[in-house]
A and B are shown apart, each in its own frame.
Chain A
Amino acid sequence: MTEDLLLRELPADLDRARLLEVAGDSGVEGRAQEFDFALCRDPLRSCPYPMALLADLWRLLAPGGVLLLEAEVDPAREHSPYARFVPAATTGAGWVPGRLALRWMIEASGFDVERWLGDADIGADSRAHLRALRSERAPARSAP
């Protein structure tokens, strides 16, 4: 079911060389604008630097490219603008955001969230799936 939500967003005639797949803490590599699609399963939970990861995805996707993301999220509605830092001795630290925080993080990274996939946006599910488009807007930077 989870894979269906993301995979069904891929065009049938997709050139697999233009697809970037990211799973867990596998990291991302490639040339700027090398990909048209990025399919990411649970990258934030095991990534201590999520904004750097999202900025990397922006760099690797061509303008108009599609980010398909599955993420563990905090299902509590009152926690929606927040994220939880999750230390883990063996797998490295990561983050579990609320849905609104996840959306803001992605938008600050130069993407426009097109829509949530499935009905996870309105439910109390701890997993979210979304489709976002890589905009011309560069990712935010820490600056005065």
Chain B
Amino acid sequence: MNSDPMAPLRETVERRFGSAKLAAAGEIDVAALTRFSPELPQRLPAEEKTRLLQRADELEPWLQGPFLLGDELVVGGAWRNDLRWLNLDPEVPASLGGVRVLDVGSNAGYDPFMFSLREPDYVLACEPFAFIEQARFLESIYRTGVDLQEIGWQQLDPERHGRFELVHCHGVLYHELDPFELLVRLHEMTAPGGTLLLGSIMLADPSLAELARFVPHAYNGDRTWWWVPGPLAVSSMLDAAGFELRGRFGQAGGPPGEFETINGYFRAVRPS
């Protein structure tokens, strides 16, 4: 048994970023960070800070962030999920009362923690890789009640997990060898009338919008990319999976690499 579940991830991240110890990207205004728990202490004793920092260090590499742990203690990551939520925020109802939320590919849990702040009935967060240890660490601090499960989307089953009025999946599609299979499963997990918010890296070139590029070896050192679809290819797959497309939002530049990419969201509904 591997005593350090983060070790394989450190190797992957080090290959991609040159280091497994990732500093938060850009300046962070601690006062502006989301507090995932109202109980977060304004002041932390020195020994508690040391303990939290030591555990966060053991859990490197952090991709998601920034996470406020209390006081002015922040775990940063390679990604600025708080900035992504500037676009996502207006697309999610302010109150999720009566709603079951499914988050697929939760990583350290930033998105399910954000959903939990809107008080849904239930949040299921799926993360099959060791990043879930980061989410568990954070949940031990935040105590949001998010149901963190170490499963991939392949293990999702509407008979077992039920269906969800809101399904969120960001940053998973282009890691799949058969991306359409993921969308078919997300459709199965979405309640009739429910909404899918799908975010993905996509091809930036409008002339390639209907196509998907196969990535045989790596994209910018990341060997986990397989297909990068154009926006129209994603729309076509969503439609074929049974969703009705309701719009796109949150378009931003994608990570640099062998070809130009963009990041963006689709809003789609499973017809009643």
Contact = CB atoms under 8 A, between A and B. Distances in A.
B180 A97 contact: no
A142 B177 contact: yes
The number of chain A residues touching the other chain, given as a range, is 20 to 34
Contacts of A87: 236-237, 239-240
A85 B212 contact: yes
Chain A at the B interface: mostly helix, strand, loop or mixed?
Answer: mixed
Interface of B: 8-9, 12, 129, 175-178, 180-181, 184, 208, 210-214, 216, 224, 226-227, 229, 233, 236-237, 239-240
B12, B177, B178, B216 — which one has the most chain A CB atoms within 10 A of its CB?
B177
A49 B154 CA distance: 14
A94 to B, nearest CB: 10
Interface stretch (A3-11, A62-70, A103-111, A116-124): A103-111
A144 B181 contact: no
A73 to B, nearest CB: 13
Contact of A82 (B177, B178, B211): B211
Nearest to A76: B211
Given A82-B212, A82-B214, A107-B216, A144 B177 contact: no
A49 B178 contact: yes
12 contacts: A48-B181, A48-B184, A52-B177, A52-B181, A81-B214, A82-B208, A83-B214, A84-B210, A84-B211, A85-B212, A108-B226, A142-B224
Contacts of A84: 210-212, 233
Given A48-B180, A81-B213, A82-B208, 7 more contacts: A48-B240, A50-B178, A82-B211, A82-B213, A93-B237, A97-B214, A105-B214
A140 B181 contact: no
A6 B240 CA distance: 32
Nearest to B178: A49
A104 B258 CA distance: 16
Contact of B233 (A49, A52, A79, A85): A85
A104 to B, nearest CB: 4
A85 B177 contact: no
Contacts of B178: 48-52
B255 to A, nearest CB: 16
A144 B129 contact: yes
Contacts of B211: 79, 82-84
A16 interface: no
A142 B178 CA distance: 9
A121 to B, nearest CB: 17
List the 3 closest pairs (A to B, CB-CB), nearest first.
A87-B240, A82-B211, A104-B216
A104 B214 contact: yes
A142 B176 contact: yes
B153 to A, nearest CB: 10
Contacts of B181: 48-49, 52
Contacts of B239: 87
A50 B178 CA distance: 7
A68 B181 CA distance: 25
A19 interface: no
B214 A93 contact: no
Contacts of A143: 224
